[in-house]
């Protein structure tokens, strides 16, 4: 029987060394709640330890797991740290991978989530399994923009932001198409390379 793994490793930025101590105390208190607590399981699906990167004054908590981690447990803990104002007011991301000890058709996956630690709210998230399925089944549009078109679209957007009148360029068509598709609930990816 195959073993399934969820792996991740990230640094959670904290506002001070004291916040690092308080965050670890909070984690222990949440773990002590057991099955009736906020975490999915008694074992808590991640490890956390204080970590000060070299050449930095910032304090971080290293959150990681290399076997059966729980993304939900990590998010529950991070939201609790945000609520207690232990984190820096910045954007933070968690990226994970799903792996398997044997080749199975439904065993490999991954994803990411970005949070605003100032408010404790989700900014964006992606499941690679859902993303691939949507593209495969034509419910997700992928629009390709070449370098010149990306530069023209960039210039047009920047001019509009500064109140300058601009004429529509052909480069704006993929951008408008993407926005229209998003308005109808479709997921859209714009791929290409621009000057910035």
SS (H, E, C) 54-74: CCCCCEEEEEEECCECCHHHH
**174 and 92 housed in the same domain:** no
Residue 133 lies in a domain: no
Mean pLDDT of 146-167: 72
**9 and 92 housed in the same domain:** yes
According to DSSP, the residues that pair with 124 across neighbouring strands are 114
pLDDT confidence of residue 134: 78
With a cut of 90, say whether residue 145 has pLDDT above it.
no
Both structure tokens of 195: 């000057």
With a cut of 90, say whether residue 79 has pLDDT above it.
yes
Contacts of 30 (CB under 8 A, 6+ apart): 37, 38, 39, 44, 76, 77, 80
With a cut of 70, say whether residue 56 has pLDDT above it.
no
Average pLDDT, the chain: 82
**117 and 158 housed in the same domain:** no
Q: What is the pLDDT of residues 124-144, one digit of tens each?
A: 888 888 888 877 877 666 767
Residue 156's domain comprises: 138-192
User: In what helix (H) or strand (E) does residue 161 lie, and over which residues does it extend?
Assistant: helix 147-161
With a cut of 70, say whether residue 7 has pLDDT above it.
yes
Query: What is the total count of domains within the chain?
Result: 2
The DSSP code for 185 is: T
Residue 132 lies in a domain: no
Residue 49 lies in a domain: yes
Residue 143 lies in a domain: yes
Q: Which of 85, 101, 127 is the last residue of a domain?
A: 127
């Amino acid at each position: 029987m195959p073993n399934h793994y969820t792996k991740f490793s990230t640094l959670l930025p904290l506002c001070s060394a004291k916040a690092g101590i308080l965050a670890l105390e909070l984690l222990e208190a949440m773990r002590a709640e057991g099955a009736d607590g906020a975490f999915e399981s008694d074992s808590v699906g991640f490890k956390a330890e204080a970590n000060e990167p070299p050449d930095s004054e910032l304090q971080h908590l290293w959150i990681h797991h290399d076997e059966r981690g729980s993304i939900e447990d990590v998010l529950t803990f991070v939201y609790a740290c945000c609520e207690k104002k232990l984190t820096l007011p910045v954007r933070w991301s968690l990226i994970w991978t799903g792996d398997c000890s044997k080749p199975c058709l439904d065993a490999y996956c991954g994803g990411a989530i970005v949070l605003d630690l100032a408010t404790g709210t989700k900014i964006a998230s992606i499941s690679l399994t859902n993303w691939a399925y949507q593209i495969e089944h034509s419910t997700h549009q992928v629009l390709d923009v070449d370098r010149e078109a990306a530069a023209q679209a960039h210039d047009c957007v920047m001019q509009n932001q500064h109140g300058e009148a601009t004429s529509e360029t052909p480069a704006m068509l993929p951008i408008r198409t993407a926005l229209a598709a998003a308005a109808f609930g479709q997921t859209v990816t714009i791929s290409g390379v621009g000057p910035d």
